Amino acid sequence: MEKLKILEGRRGQVFEKGKDAFKLNCGVKSTSGAVSQRACVFCGSRVVLYPITDALHLVHGPIGCAAYTWDIRGSMSSGPVINRHSFSTDLREIDVIYGGAEKLYKAASQLIDKHKPEAAFIYSTCIVGLIGDDVEAVCKKLSEEKKIPVINVDSAGFKGTKKDGYKAACESIAKLVGTGDISMIAPYSINILGEFNLAGEAWIIKDYYTRMGVNVNAVITGDGRVADLKRAHGAALNVVQCAGSMTYLAEIMKKKYNIPFIRVSYFGLDDMTSALYDVAAFFEKNPEINERAGMVVKDEMDAIMPGLLRYRKALSGKKAALYVGGAFKAFSLIKALRVLGMDVVLAGSQTGNKEDYEDLKKICDDGAIIIDDANPQELSRYITEKKADVLIGGVKERPIAYKIGIGFCDHNHERKIPLAGYAGMLNFAGEVYSSVMSPVWKLVLRNDTFGQKRSRP
Ligand code: SF4
């Protein structure tokens, strides 16, 4: 049977370790016709800003943009939930012809009066980028009239990649940072950047740091509040969890407020432990923080190890494929899957950069596929060829796994179970176990990339 060919324009974005010369092309716009799994610039900005719960999020564009990203992050809130609405100006043909600025002004004005948010984010989507509404002027007028920050998120979908949306979101947050009172912030304070509290993870991580004696000043943007963002420049350290989305903001804050930053990950045992000890090392003048970090690690590990070992016994030797947003998460997942005795046969990302992929190459075993900005056909082909038992990805990858006839684990925006921290590692192992070992796979024939039946697992 003929193998599915890689599109000519994508040849540089797929690599097999140990076989191909590694010179991965990344950070480029998606190839036309490739049906990328990657989201647009607007979506990138929305996923970062959406968890700011007491802000108004108004999508200036056709209704489809708002529907596509409605409730895109299942981010949990401990208070306000204004963010859960998907407000849109619902631009029509008549607005495209005559301009939509007036419609935007009226919609935003009414919504601010009704919901009384602490700030408003106005997302400019593709159509607005094309017709050229002066969104900046509308935001300025509304800020003056309503006495709250009204911020234009310049995020027309066609302007670049999802990563450009992250950048637009960071620029929007940077407009709030530095405008609040920092006089009461404790000396051992950190901001967590790029933790979105999808299923309550921010609360788990905050609890670890609090037990260490470290104050979490702001989580940007999980369970976010405008007031916390305004005071974020008062922290001693920025701890960047999602490097792809938040390094840019950390760099802005370093330049503007001289706040250093470190990169961490809260997924998997090794990286979670390093995240606690790295923060303790930063506050080395207070050795008690390091001691308390050790206690947190011991207590948490003791609690999960028996369960983890049971899952490991069942999953050892099984194969996993990963396709995630940022490459930094892929490193943690590879390590976490190794703890479970599993092999990673494919690792891909939507927004990795050259250094990320170099690091992925080092950490992956020979024969593993490394892939940038994949499309469904490529994922199907390599998952089938490499005989993966489970695909770990986001909502767009779920149908791919089920069509092939393998397990799926949601490690993205839509999940409802916390996967970060020590308790999260146990949940992750449980999710993978349930999916891989489900008896349903005994009843299905696995498909190849052309839909022909192959074999039972
Ligand atoms: S911003 Fe553009 S690419 Fe993104 S959802 Fe809207 S129309 Fe589609």
Quick one: pLDDT at residue 23? Answer: 77
Report whether pLDDT(97) > 70. Answer: yes
Return the structure tokens found at 319: 């194969």
Report whether pLDDT(74) > 70. Answer: yes
Report whether pLDDT(222) > 80. Answer: yes
CA 303 – ligand 1 centroid, Å: 45
Report whether pLDDT(452) > 60. Answer: no
- Nearest ligand 1 atom, CA 43: 4
Reported confidence tier of residue 262, pLDDT bands at 50, 70, 90? very high
Please classify residue 132 by burial: count the beta carbons closer than 10 Å to its beta carbon, then call 0-12 exposed, 13-18 middle and 19+ buried.
exposed
Reported confidence tier of residue 1, pLDDT bands at 50, 70, 90? very low
Helix, strand and coil content of the chain, in percent to the nearest 5, comes to 50, 15, 35
Report whether pLDDT(5) > 90. Answer: no
68 lines ligand 1 (CB under 6 A): yes
Longest dimension (CA), the chain: 69
Quick one: pLDDT at residue 20? Answer: 72
Nearest CA to ligand 1 atom 6: 65
Nearest CA to ligand 1 atom 7: 126
Beta bridge pairs of residue 87: 58
pLDDT tens column, 133-146: 999 999 999 999 99
Among 33-37, 149-153, 193-197, 323-327, where is mean pLDDT lowest? 33-37
Report whether pLDDT(258) > 80. Answer: yes
What does pLDDT average to over the chain? 93
Reported confidence tier of residue 366, pLDDT bands at 50, 70, 90? very high
Mutate to test the pocket of ligand 1, among 70, 72, 135, 158 (most ligand atoms within 8 A of CB): 158
What would the mean pLDDT of 346-356 be, rounded to a whole number?
A: 89
What would the mean pLDDT of 364-390 be, rounded to a whole number?
A: 93
Report whether pLDDT(272) > 50. Answer: yes
- Nearest ligand 1 atom, CA 41: 4
407 lines ligand 1 (CB under 6 A): no
What would the mean pLDDT of 392-396 be, rounded to a whole number?
A: 90
CA 244 – ligand 1 centroid, Å: 21
Question: 253: which DSSP letter?
Answer: H
Quick one: pLDDT at residue 26? Answer: 87
The CA–CA distances, whole Å, from 94 to 63, 99, 134, 439 equal 14, 8, 17, 55
402 lines ligand 1 (CB under 6 A): no
Query: What's the pTM?
Result: 0.92
Reported confidence tier of residue 451, pLDDT bands at 50, 70, 90? low
- Nearest ligand 1 atom, CA 156: 1
What would the mean pLDDT of 279-296 be, rounded to a whole number?
A: 98
What would the mean pLDDT of 84-110 be, rounded to a whole number?
A: 96
Higher pLDDT, 207 or 242: 207
CA 40 – ligand 1 centroid, Å: 6
The CA–CA distances, whole Å, from 36 to 10, 21, 43, 118, 372 equal 11, 24, 14, 36, 10
CA 173 – ligand 1 centroid, Å: 22
Quick one: pLDDT at residue 426? Answer: 98
Query: Distance (Å, rounded) from C-alpha 76 to C-alpha 81?
Result: 9
- State percent of the chain over pLDDT 70: 97
401 lines ligand 1 (CB under 6 A): no
40 lines ligand 1 (CB under 6 A): yes
125 lines ligand 1 (CB under 6 A): yes
Reported confidence tier of residue 15, pLDDT bands at 50, 70, 90? confident
- Nearest ligand 1 atom, CA 126: 2
Quick one: pLDDT at residue 227? Answer: 98
- Nearest ligand 1 atom, CA 61: 6
CA 308 – ligand 1 centroid, Å: 42
168 lines ligand 1 (CB under 6 A): no
